Chains A and B, each alone.
Chain A
């Protein structure tokens, strides 16, 4: 796939999980990568492992100033052409047990964080001649799920914001698409018990979890020149879970 060499990609939540797999594949494809995360040790270690093509930048996605810094770091390396909004929190709690603090935490990281990221990269993309944004939603942003109302709301928000941004930014050669993973084998699911996770897998038509490597293949497709005519689309990669 073309569209990676001599270009810079900014990956929020890049220190582990989905973001780390994307960083690996991007470096392998010839891109320069900025992995941005709150996890300083893990982030530095991954950047060191991936070598000269990868740098780590501390990033709290709820901070405008930190987004501006991350974009500046990326542009200092080369033309910024892609952003992946992976950073997210997931604490499943029944509706009646969900307090305001819980709700707002999901809204700030998953929803505000994604919005701030999109807004932060637009001027840089315009200077580069265009770019691609991939927002990580979820299968529960397509169908709903019980006992995770704050998370579900934030993921539907990401799905909708993706389309709104796609419409506004199309004329500037910036495309925005959302990816909707099903249950993926990462640390994020550690918040649920093993029995809960097993039950969840049995509900997936493909009867297995996905892997972060599989998600990364789709994300790279959406960042590449192979998908230039795609914007505002929502792509489920969930073994059929949303059906």
Chain B
């Protein structure tokens, strides 16, 4: 019997990057997966590729009604067992260039989006008998990082909200943990050609001298969604090659 047979998981930011890798691994282990994302073309393609156990749902994580719709879609498939809050934006810039619109946009996706997701699944988890939430924070949520003040703020917020939610929801058999990836090989990091020199500098700063792979983050996320981690809640887990040390 596969580890996640008959269990339903909702992934925000599921159409690419970290979320895509989680969707692939979850489906491979028997799960039914709802991938929520703004990227409709990419999301539908991925769901089609992964087959009948994966559906795509348009999801703007800043919208309460869209979260409700996503949870309803998930519950229409089966008992909702887990949520991964992957959706996030990263627009690095110095403080002086961080205007209010940029700050609020980052908060809306990374911080409000994570909060709304957690709140949206509580009822469904109670109906399922419990559930696990994994919030994707960052090493920027463990240390200070220059030239990314809005992003850093939201990732510390996610770290703290994770613990607050863990305390409130423990009695309802709902666990909440945060994952703090270091630099990972995804579009968010390596997308732009002009970033090549900066990325090499970043790679050399990692004690392990390499970036992580989204499949590695996914294996940690799956561990935290599984029964093997049932005594873990409110914990913060860095997977970062040592860069936050």
Taking Cβ atoms with an 8 Å cutoff, the residues of A that contact B are: 163, 166-167, 170-171, 175, 182, 205-207, 210-211, 214-215, 217-218, 221, 226-240, 242-243
Q: Which residues of A contact B234 (CB under 8 A)?
A: 205, 236, 240, 242-243
Q: Which residues of B contact A218 (CB under 8 A)?
A: 228-229, 232
Of B28-36, B43-51, B121-129, B163-171, which binds chain A? B163-171
Q: How far is the CB of B195 from chain A (nearest CB, A)?
A: 21
Closest A residue to B210 by CB, please name it: A229
Report whether A214 and B231 are in contact in the complex, using a CB–CB cutoff of 8 Å: yes
Report whether B170 and A240 are in contact in the complex, using a CB–CB cutoff of 8 Å: yes
Taking Cβ atoms with an 8 Å cutoff, the residues of B that contact A are: 163, 166-167, 170-171, 182, 207-210, 212-213, 216, 219-220, 223, 228-242, 244-245
Q: Which residues of A contact B167 (CB under 8 A)?
A: 205, 240, 243
What are 5 sample pairs from A and B whose C-beta atoms fall under 8 A apart? A205-B166, A228-B216, A232-B242, A232-B244, A234-B238
Taken together as a complex, chains A and B put the C-alpha atoms of A192 and B244 apart, in Å, by 37
Taken together as a complex, chains A and B put the C-alpha atoms of A235 and B237 apart, in Å, by 6
Q: How far is the CB of A214 from chain B (nearest CB, A)?
A: 4
Report whether B223 and A163 are in contact in the complex, using a CB–CB cutoff of 8 Å: no
Name the residue among A163, A182, A205, A242 with the largest chain B CB count within 10 angstroms. A205
Q: Which residues of B contact A166 (CB under 8 A)?
A: 207, 242, 245
Report whether A226 and B235 are in contact in the complex, using a CB–CB cutoff of 8 Å: no
Q: Which of the residues B208, B212, B216, B240 comes within 8 Å of A226, measured between beta carbons?
A: B216
Report whether B245 and A167 are in contact in the complex, using a CB–CB cutoff of 8 Å: yes
Q: How far is the CB of B31 from chain A (nearest CB, A)?
A: 17
Report whether A229 and B163 are in contact in the complex, using a CB–CB cutoff of 8 Å: no
- Once A205-B234, A231-B208, A243-B234 are accepted as A-B contacts, the answer to whether A226 and B220 lie under 8 Å apart by CB is yes
Report whether A236 and B171 are in contact in the complex, using a CB–CB cutoff of 8 Å: no
Q: Which residues of B contact A170 (CB under 8 A)?
A: 207-209, 241-242
- Once A166-B242, A207-B171 are accepted as A-B contacts, the answer to whether A226 and B219 lie under 8 Å apart by CB is yes
Report whether B219 and A240 are in contact in the complex, using a CB–CB cutoff of 8 Å: no
Q: Which residues of B contact A163 (CB under 8 A)?
A: 245
Taken together as a complex, chains A and B put the C-alpha atoms of A114 and B234 apart, in Å, by 26
Report whether A167 and B240 are in contact in the complex, using a CB–CB cutoff of 8 Å: no
Taken together as a complex, chains A and B put the C-alpha atoms of A171 and B231 apart, in Å, by 33
Q: Which residues of A contact B213 (CB under 8 A)?
A: 229
Taken together as a complex, chains A and B put the C-alpha atoms of A239 and B209 apart, in Å, by 34
Closest A residue to B142 by CB, please name it: A233
Name the residue among B220, B231, B235 with the largest chain A CB count within 10 angstroms. B231
Report whether A226 and B231 are in contact in the complex, using a CB–CB cutoff of 8 Å: no
Closest A residue to B169 by CB, please name it: A205
Q: How far is the CB of B94 from chain A (nearest CB, A)?
A: 28
Q: How far is the CB of B68 from chain A (nearest CB, A)?
A: 27
Report whether A214 and B182 are in contact in the complex, using a CB–CB cutoff of 8 Å: no
Q: Which residues of B contact A229 (CB under 8 A)?
A: 182, 208, 210, 212-213, 216, 239-241
Q: How far is the CB of B101 from chain A (nearest CB, A)?
A: 35
Closest A residue to B182 by CB, please name it: A229
Closest B residue to A166 by CB, please name it: B242
Report whether A238 and B231 are in contact in the complex, using a CB–CB cutoff of 8 Å: yes
Q: Which residues of B contact A227 (CB under 8 A)?
A: 216, 219-220, 239
Report whether B245 and A237 are in contact in the complex, using a CB–CB cutoff of 8 Å: no
Report whether B207 and A167 are in contact in the complex, using a CB–CB cutoff of 8 Å: yes
Report whether A230 and B238 are in contact in the complex, using a CB–CB cutoff of 8 Å: yes
Q: Which residues of A contact B231 (CB under 8 A)?
A: 182, 206, 210-211, 214-215, 237-239
Q: Which residues of B contact A238 (CB under 8 A)?
A: 231-232, 235
Taken together as a complex, chains A and B put the C-alpha atoms of A217 and B228 apart, in Å, by 6
Report whether A171 and B207 are in contact in the complex, using a CB–CB cutoff of 8 Å: yes
Report whether A235 and B235 are in contact in the complex, using a CB–CB cutoff of 8 Å: yes
Taken together as a complex, chains A and B put the C-alpha atoms of A214 and B226 apart, in Å, by 12
Taken together as a complex, chains A and B put the C-alpha atoms of A72 and B242 apart, in Å, by 29
Report whether A239 and B233 are in contact in the complex, using a CB–CB cutoff of 8 Å: yes
Q: A221-B228, A226-B220, A237-B229 are in contact. List 15 more A-B contacts (CB 8 A).
A: A163-B245, A167-B245, A170-B242, A205-B234, A206-B170, A211-B231, A218-B229, A229-B212, A229-B240, A231-B245, A232-B207, A237-B232, A239-B170, A240-B234, A242-B234
Taken together as a complex, chains A and B put the C-alpha atoms of A29 and B173 apart, in Å, by 29
